[in-house]
Amino acid sequence: MNQIAVIGLGVMGKAIAQNMMNHGFRVAGYNRTYAVTETMQGKENFIGYKELKDAIESLEKPRKIFMMVPAGPVVDAMIDQLEPFVEAGDIVMDAGNSYFEDDARRGKRLEKLGVHYLAVGVSGGEMGALHGPSIMPSGSKKAYDQVAFILETIAAQKDGEPCCTYIGPEGSGHYVKMVHNGIEYADMQLIVEAYIAMKAAGMSNQSISDVLESWNQGPLESYLLSITIKILREKDPDTQKDLVDLIVDASSNKGTGKWTSQCALVQDINVSLIHGAYMARLTSNDEKLRHRFPKVQSHMEIDTEQLRQAYFLARVVAYEQGFRLYSDASKRYGWDLNLSKIASIFRAGCIIQANLLEYIRDTFGRLGPDASLFDDFEEMALAHLPALKTIVTNGLLHDISMPLFTAALTYIIPMQQVALGANLIQAQRDFFGAHTFKRVDKEGVFHHHWE
């Protein structure tokens, strides 16, 4: 009998199935297009099935079904197909990038059949899925306990610990993965802005790569920096030119950054860097508007040490904003998220794995879910703030687009101001809408007749 079925054998599904097989788990494979399944036939610990019914019936009970299909209607369609073949006690896992609010509906639907539903965030891309991703399961704790031995075995390992932990009820696993992706958007854009600044200083891709390599150690070490170093050194086999220079200057997205921004608005949390990173991707695709303006060839001098400090501080702000979303969601939705454990499972296997997460894990481990990263990073922030100011100012003066470095600066500067002018806004609101205001010299709520 097979131990688990992997439904959906695209790039990620095939990799995760191979990961399971490499660890000795017997895998039943099913893909809507059987030709895809056939490419895996004959591999050790794998049996592919042409019919979904046969794949499900080949499983040990309770059946464990791992769906790796595109988020959205495809997940619901897959559940429609599974429904006739599953029975009470079976476990259905959605490991795609589903929107967390859809999970409650799907969970209730399967619950009527006595079937457990787990919303499972998976990060790491194809290589992570194959060699060990970061895994964020949520839903029924009882169901998780029955699949934990598989998920924790195939997950990345860091210091002898699996980068997989039970996140919480309902769709909390997909929520955690969604915000993870928002942080990913922000860090990618910050690296891009550092790259653009160094290009404006006349540095070659090789020189920029060398600078990033010097950064990619100690507190700044990260997966995203490591792949960027390799990207900047890669040559196009046909032209021998730097491959990155031959790629169209427009970036795509799959929606998780957008969802993070939307959730932040609902939760009233400032995620200016995550939002700005999504907006930057949209701008890169606005060909009509970009073509309207005359192009400026920017030149500026750059101090790479100042740029490093600015990048370090801005990256801390991005993580601060993401973890503030986690903290609020934990209370808002009653999930009781363990932010220290979340930081811990991000330390390997996932796209945002970085040395910084060791510090973040420690901060929340010591200070609890209401902590701020600036509880530990305030001294660094104040020390690096002059560098961030210099980089942003010089960038603006030399027509360099640095929306996230700017957002990081405008996130921190207000924290230092004695007053933000919100008193005037409250007066304006009271003037036109009688929205009332509080006073510094009296208790209570007041309305003034302005005219």
CATH 1.20.5.320 occupies which residues in the chain? 420-451
12 marked as part of a ligand binding site: yes
Query: Residue 202 to residues 55, 193, 236, 241, 287: CA-CA distances in angstroms?
Result: 58, 14, 21, 17, 26
At 287, the pLDDT band (50, 70, 90 cuts) reads confident
What pLDDT shows up at residue 233?
A: 98
- For 395-409, how does the pLDDT look when each residue is reduced to its tens digit (9 = 90+)? 999 999 999 999 999
User: Torsion angle of alpha carbons 25, 28, 33, 34, nearest 10°?
Assistant: 110
The CATH code for residues 4-170 is 3.40.50.720
347 marked as part of a ligand binding site: no
180 marked as part of a ligand binding site: yes
19 marked as part of a ligand binding site: no
DSSP state of 446: B
Strand order in the sheet with 27-30: 46-49, 27-30, 4-7, 64-67, 91-94, 116-123, 134-139
- For 138-160, how does the pLDDT look when each residue is reduced to its tens digit (9 = 90+)? 999 999 999 999 999 999 999 99
253 marked as part of a ligand binding site: no
What pLDDT shows up at residue 298?
A: 82
* Distance between first and last Cα of the chain: 81
Q: Which CATH class is domain 176-416?
A: mainly alpha
Residue 258 DSSP SS3:
helix
Q: Which fold has domain 420-451?
A: 1.20.5
CATH 1.10.1040.10 occupies which residues in the chain? 176-416
Lowest mean pLDDT across 76-85, 289-298, 321-330: 289-298
31 marked as part of a ligand binding site: yes
CATH 3.40.50.720 occupies which residues in the chain? 4-170
86 marked as part of a ligand binding site: no
What pLDDT shows up at residue 295?
A: 80
Cut 0.75: pTM above it: yes
Q: What is the mean pLDDT of residues 87-98?
A: 96
Query: Residue 358 to residues 51, 222, 361, 380: CA-CA distances in angstroms?
Result: 45, 11, 5, 16
Catalytic site positions: 177, 184
Residue 255 has pLDDT above 80, yes or no: no
